[in-house]
């Protein structure tokens, strides 16, 4: 386990429940419902990587279990062999663990229940609550009616139990092509709730399954599988997102009709939506497949693996999920809330370092050519336990190009001809002259002089020096590529216009790679579990995938708010 992965602590606040779900559970426990036990589950379909919305569901399900001495199951809802893959199963487990949660021995797959699900289907047929329907998919849709009009009964609805049993077993035996028959529940075609109009329970799919191979050629539908899986696992509270509210009557009908030994309680909450992004796996898959991003773990993607690569910590995602809370109504959370969560976390945990992203060379003409010295700098301005490091200084250094202006406006407190600034923890320097490329006239370097009496950056005679710049010794600097990111989409809600493809809103400038960056020496030992604050520039981490011996690639996790101001006052 990496050192960053402090385990989530149960959150109990003065006996008060944080949200309506925790209130329901507290009440249930008080009444000794389910024998006072709490068993939840997180049920991903392995058809994509997990995203930040899933993190909300994971934090809720595992969090509630932790707080109530319960357990949370990880159950793969793998009922659609056409879209699912082992690689997704593995990435999901990695992501849940990384977030800091542990399912212990409670790892399950809906496909492990295929035999039981089949037996339950036989039971439904035998009690006259399910039938084999031979309408085509289009006809089923047509017969289903609309929100305002009732549906009508399938002509196959009154098949005898014997005929249904025979047809269903032949469906299983592979006698029929796809689309010729389905098994449907027999409920009520005139129900106001479309989900109760004889929903499909099984369809024929001549596809291999990543776990059951070719054993099955009929596969249960999600709405049929999910309640039964919950019941088999003795789940007490089945927490899901609001779109399942209309499915709850079927959830309850099914378990009541089958008289399963356990009947979990389904409770819905609003899913997480964020501004400037899309959240559905289908859309994320499109971004990946069509090459708009480099993969599921592209640092611009709001997948858990993308956020991890970007430098987000498990702690920051958990605290984000806590901040947004739970509601019964859909809303869109500001991306800034997520960015603040990681900023707050890294502000307290990330050591500081200096890096120059767009270097401008400075020659300190009165500093001896051969001289070098080691300056001692705190790793964190407020946390002495984080220690100190030494940073080398010599005659030639780099500063940021935009920390110099030839003709500065009045309020520019950085370097300019004739002006004096402080080099962070080093010396005061004054700019004497600009050296240009003879042909292009472009600035190639600045010549400055330093005040030897200002070592450490203090003013020897109390003269005021407002600006403080970060810098890197040119002789000791290490080269790196640094990638700056902006939001992947240019508009708050890329899905707002149903007519327009969300792809049209992609931000063409969401990735800015800078290839000639100069980093302080100490960053040579960084690994991808470390995060740093590059002073004045933001929080950064090593890119786990693209860095290699001799090639350093850093990602900017997030920009700084304005923590520089404080450091200036201090020095």
Q: How far is CA 157 from the centre of its chain?
A: 46
Whole-number Å distance between alpha carbons of 510 and 482 = 14
Comparing CB distances to ligand ATP, the nearer of 341 and 415 is 341
Whole-number Å distance between alpha carbons of 442 and 384 = 43
Catalytic one of 271, 283, 286, 358: 271
Question: Are 124 and 257 spatial neighbours (Cβ–Cβ below 8 Å)?
Answer: yes
Phi, psi of 256 (to 5 degrees): -65, -45
- Among left, alpha and beta (phi > 0; psi -120 to 50; other), residue 327 is beta
Comparing CB distances to ligand ATP, the nearer of 76 and 427 is 76
Comparing CB distances to ligand ATP, the nearer of 189 and 488 is 488
Comparing CB distances to ligand ATP, the nearer of 153 and 280 is 280
Comparing CB distances to ligand ATP, the nearer of 57 and 316 is 57
Of the listed pieces 10-18, 37-45, 371-379, 397-405, which binds ligand ATP according to CB under 6 A?
Answer: 37-45
CA distances from 442 to 354, 403, 436 (A): 26, 16, 5
DSSP 233: T
Binder of ligand ATP out of 53, 306, 351, 538 (CB under 6 A): 53
Please list the residues that pair with 223 across neighbouring strands. Answer: none
Cα three-residue angle 245-246-251, rounded to 5 degrees: 85
Sign of CA dihedral 517, 518, 524, 528: negative
Whole-number Å distance between alpha carbons of 241 and 228 = 18
CB of 49 to ligand ATP, least distance (A): 10
Strand order from edge to edge, sheet including 468-469:
468-469, 420-423, 428-436, 443-450, 359-364, 396-400, 472-473
Q: Is 195 in the site for ligand ATP (CB under 6 A)?
A: no
Question: Are 211 and 88 spatial neighbours (Cβ–Cβ below 8 Å)?
Answer: no
One character per residue 229-248, x = contact with ligand ATP (rule: CB under 6 A): -----------xx-------
Q: Is 57 in the site for ligand ATP (CB under 6 A)?
A: yes
Binder of ligand ATP out of 33, 123, 152, 271 (CB under 6 A): 271
Q: Is 279 in the site for ligand ATP (CB under 6 A)?
A: yes
Tracing tokens 């773990």 back to the chain, one arrives at 297
Question: Are 19 and 217 spatial neighbours (Cβ–Cβ below 8 Å)?
Answer: no
Q: Is 45 in the site for ligand ATP (CB under 6 A)?
A: yes
One character per residue 461-500, x = contact with ligand ATP (rule: CB under 6 A): ----------------------------------------
How many residues touch ligand ATP under the rule CB under 6 A: the total is 15
Q: Is 44 in the site for ligand ATP (CB under 6 A)?
A: yes
Cα three-residue angle 270-50-296, rounded to 5 degrees: 130
Catalytic one of 4, 5, 45, 396: 45
Q: Is 172 in the site for ligand ATP (CB under 6 A)?
A: no
Q: Is 220 in the site for ligand ATP (CB under 6 A)?
A: no
CA distances from 43 to 58, 72, 228 (A): 9, 10, 13
Q: Is 272 in the site for ligand ATP (CB under 6 A)?
A: yes
Pairing of strands 420-423, 468-469: parallel
Catalytic one of 281, 318, 395, 419: 281
Q: Confirm whether 286 is a catalytic residue.
A: no
Three-state DSSP state, 515: strand
Comparing CB distances to ligand ATP, the nearer of 246 and 402 is 246
Of the listed pieces 117-125, 274-282, 391-399, 408-416, which binds ligand ATP according to CB under 6 A?
Answer: 274-282
Whole-number Å distance between alpha carbons of 302 and 517 = 26
Comparing CB distances to ligand ATP, the nearer of 8 and 151 is 8
DSSP per residue over 161-173, as a string? Answer: HHHHHHHHHHHHH
Comparing CB distances to ligand ATP, the nearer of 95 and 400 is 95
Of the listed pieces 38-46, 177-185, 197-205, 248-256, which binds ligand ATP according to CB under 6 A?
Answer: 38-46
Phi, psi of 454 (to 5 degrees): -105, 25
Of the listed pieces 13-21, 110-118, 279-287, 327-335, which binds ligand ATP according to CB under 6 A?
Answer: 279-287
Q: Confirm whether 281 is a catalytic residue.
A: yes
Q: Is 54 in the site for ligand ATP (CB under 6 A)?
A: yes
Catalytic positions? 45, 271, 281
Binding residues for ligand ATP (CB under 6 A): 43-45, 53-54, 56-57, 240-241, 271-272, 279-282
């Amino acid at each position: 386990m990496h050192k960053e992965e402090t385990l989530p602590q149960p959150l109990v606040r003065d006996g008060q429940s944080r949200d309506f779900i925790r209130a329901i559970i507290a009440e249930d426990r008080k009444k000794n419902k389910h024998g006072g036990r709490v068993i939840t589950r997180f049920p991903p379909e392995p058809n994509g990587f997990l995203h930040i919305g899933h993190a909300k569901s994971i934090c809720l399900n595992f969090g509630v279990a932790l707080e109530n001495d319960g357990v949370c199951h990880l159950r793969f809802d793998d009922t659609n062999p056409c879209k699912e893959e082992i690689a997704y199963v593995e990435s999901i487990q990695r992501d849940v663990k990384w977030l800091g949660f542990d399912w212990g021995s409670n790892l399950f797959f809906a496909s492990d229940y295929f035999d039981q699900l089949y037996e339950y289907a036989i039971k439904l047929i035998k009690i006259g609550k399910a039938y084999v329907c031979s309408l085509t998919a289009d006809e089923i849709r047509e017969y289903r009616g609309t929100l305002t009009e009732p549906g009508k009964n399938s002509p196959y609805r009154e098949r005898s139990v014997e005929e249904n049993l025979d047809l269903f077993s032949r469906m299983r035996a592979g006698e029929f092509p796809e689309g010729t028959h389905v098994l449907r529940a027999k409920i009520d075609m005139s129900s106001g709730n479309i989900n109760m109009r004889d929903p499909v329970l099984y369809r024929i799919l001549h596809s291999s399954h990543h776990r059951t191979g070719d054993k099955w050629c009929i596969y249960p539908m999600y709405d049929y599988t999910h309640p039964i899986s919950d019941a088999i696992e003795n789940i007490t509270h089945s927490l899901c997102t609001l779109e399942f509210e209309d499915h709850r009557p079927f959830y309850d009908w099914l378990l009541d009709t089958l008289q399963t030994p356990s009947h979990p309680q389904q409770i819905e909450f609003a899913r997480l939506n964020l501004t400037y992004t899309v959240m559905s796996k289908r859309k994320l898959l499109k971004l990946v497949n069509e090459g708009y991003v480099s993969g599921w773990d592209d640092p611009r993607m709001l997948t858990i693996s993308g956020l991890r690569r970007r430098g987000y910590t498990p702690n920051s995602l958990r605290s984000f999920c806590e901040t947004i809370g739970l509601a019964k109504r859909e809303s869109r959370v500001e991306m800034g809330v997520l960015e603040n969560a990681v900023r707050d976390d890294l502000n307290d945990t990330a050591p500081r370092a200096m890096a120059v992203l767009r270097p401008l060379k400075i020659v300190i003409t009165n500093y001896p050519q051969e001289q070098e010295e080691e300056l001692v700098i705190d790793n964190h301005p407020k946390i002495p336990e984080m220690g100190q490091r030494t940073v080398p200084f010599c005659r030639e250094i780099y500063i940021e190009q935009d920390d110099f202006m030839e003709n500065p406006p009045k309020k520019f407190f950085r370097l300019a001809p004739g002006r004096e600034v402080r080099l962070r923890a080093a010396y005061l320097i004054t700019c004497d002259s600009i050296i240009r490329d003879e042909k292009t006239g472009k600035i190639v370097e600045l010549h400055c002089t330093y005040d030897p009496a200002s070592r450490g950056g203090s003013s020897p005679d109390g003269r005021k020096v407002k600006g403080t710049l970060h810098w890197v010794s040119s002789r000791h600097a290490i080269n790196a590529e640094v990638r700056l990111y902006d939001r992947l989409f240019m508009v708050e809600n890329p899905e707002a216009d149903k007519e327009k493809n969300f792809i049209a809103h992609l931000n063409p400038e969401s990735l800015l790679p800078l290839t000639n960056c100069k980093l302080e020496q100490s960053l040579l030992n960084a690994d991808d579990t470390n995060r740093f604050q590059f002073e004045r520039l933001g929080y950064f981490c090593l890119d786990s995938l693209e860095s290699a011996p001799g090639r350093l690639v850093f990602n900017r996790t997030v920009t700084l708010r304005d923590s520089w101001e404080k450091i200036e006052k201090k020095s």
